[in-house]
Amino acid sequence: MTDKALPTTARVLEMHRMMCTIREFDEQAGQALDSGLARGSVHQYVGEEAIATGVCANLAATDYIASYHRGHGHSIAKGVDPVGMAKELLGRTGGVCGGKGGSMHIADFSRGMLGANGVVPDGVSLAVGAAQAVKLLRQDRIVAAFFGDGALNRGPLFEALNWARVYQLPLLFICEDNLYSATQRTGAVTAGPGGVARAQSFDIVTETVDGNDVLAVDAAAARLTARIRDGGGPAYLYATTYRWYGHLAFDKGLYRDPAEVKSWRERDCIARIEAWLIGRGVDKAALAATREAVKRAIDAAYEAARAAPFPDKHHAFTDVQDIGGPAWA
């Protein structure tokens, strides 16, 4: 934390609770997949919680975010209800997408969450368009686009950076660099200096931050979002971090050096902020109570999801299109 103004304890406690909520949700998401309750792809955000939390702490309810396949943390941080998310994960009625999208398509427009995405880096492309709409409609909102380091070598990301800068869109790019593109070490397949240089070459303002330090993320996001709100055009936050688990919930990540995993776990964003809070005079028991309360809430969310019915079969064929939908054919 290099900024002069330190955040209030209340704000940090709120961010701590958010990080705990995201972690608990995704720990249980992995369990849901292991037990067969969830299906398909579940990408856990465990270890990276400080980034979504620190960025979204600087967004208004009316601001938009777009995310990618590892999107549960961004959704929760933007205010999407974990109950609706758990139901979506289990493919049940009452899921945020009615059980038709699953983990990779969680979205809630009522919270400004435009969607996770199954294609790298298409969430960024949609965020560019959202920012274009904001500009066209003269709205008072900004857009934040989260993506991983796996996107750094995809052409549409370069198109997005160019486009956002040319049209000076109100858009914050957030690169969450967890070192791996699926199971491949990103550095091994990336030419040049990589993450932050990609944006700098498009003349976009950047900040680099320790993505496991929520106070640093919060402070950098505060500076960049203020700049964007002032009409300064797009900005780019490059946050280094690490995912504790594999690319997917069933990937044990055995291609990684155990020492590397251990060293990053020692930099746990939640343990770090708890140490900071204790230094600020917060009672250890109060932090434990937060974790307990979060666990009860997430237990209840998954319990509600397990109890919810599957969608009625006719929903397989609703919301395809108004004209020429499945009923036509």
Q: How far is the CB of 29 from other proteins (least distance, A)?
A: 18
Under the binding rule (CB under 8 A), the answer on residue 81 touching other proteins is: no
Under the binding rule (CB under 8 A), the answer on residue 259 touching other proteins is: no
What number of other Cβ atoms are within 10 A of residue 41's Cβ?
16
Under the binding rule (CB under 8 A), the answer on residue 79 touching other proteins is: no
Number of residues that bind other proteins (CB under 8 A): 49
Q: Is 245 left (phi over 0), alpha (psi -120 to 50) or beta?
A: beta
Element (H, E) at 174: strand 171-177
Q: How far is the CB of 105 from other proteins (least distance, A)?
A: 4
- Residue in 43, 154, 161, 58 with CA at minimum distance from that of residue 102: 43
Q: Which tokens in the block code for residue 318?
A: 């609703």
Under the binding rule (CB under 8 A), the answer on residue 326 touching other proteins is: yes
Q: How far is the CB of 222 from other proteins (least distance, A)?
A: 24
Q: How far is the CB of 71 from other proteins (least distance, A)?
A: 13
- Choose, by CB under 8 A, the member of 54, 98, 148, 246 that binds other proteins: 98
- Choose, by CB under 8 A, the member of 36, 155, 231, 281 that binds other proteins: 155
Strands, E assignment, the chain: 64-66, 143-148, 171-177, 180-181, 184-185, 205-210, 235-240
Residue 163 dihedral angles phi and psi, to the nearest 5°: -60, -50
Instruction: Tell me if 7 sits within 8 A of 218, measured CB to CB.
Output: yes
Instruction: Tell me if 206 sits within 8 A of 224, measured CB to CB.
Output: no
Q: Please name the residue that has the structure tokens 């934390």.
A: 1
Q: Please name the residue that has the structure tokens 């290099």.
A: 2
- Choose, by CB under 8 A, the member of 100, 272, 291, 295 that binds other proteins: 100
- Choose, by CB under 8 A, the member of 57, 66, 80, 224 that binds other proteins: 66
Distance CA 258, CA 253 (A): 9
- Choose, by CB under 8 A, the member of 36, 281, 309, 324 that binds other proteins: 324
Site track for other proteins across 110-149, x = CB under 8 A: ----xx--xx--x--xxxxxxxxxxxxx------------
Under the binding rule (CB under 8 A), the answer on residue 197 touching other proteins is: no
Q: How far is CA 111 from the centre of its chain?
A: 14
- Choose, by CB under 8 A, the member of 34, 60, 61, 109 that binds other proteins: 109
Binding-site ranges for other proteins (CB under 8 A): 64, 66, 95-101, 105, 107-109, 114-115, 118-119, 122, 125-137, 155-156, 159-160, 162-163, 166-167, 318-324, 326, 328-329
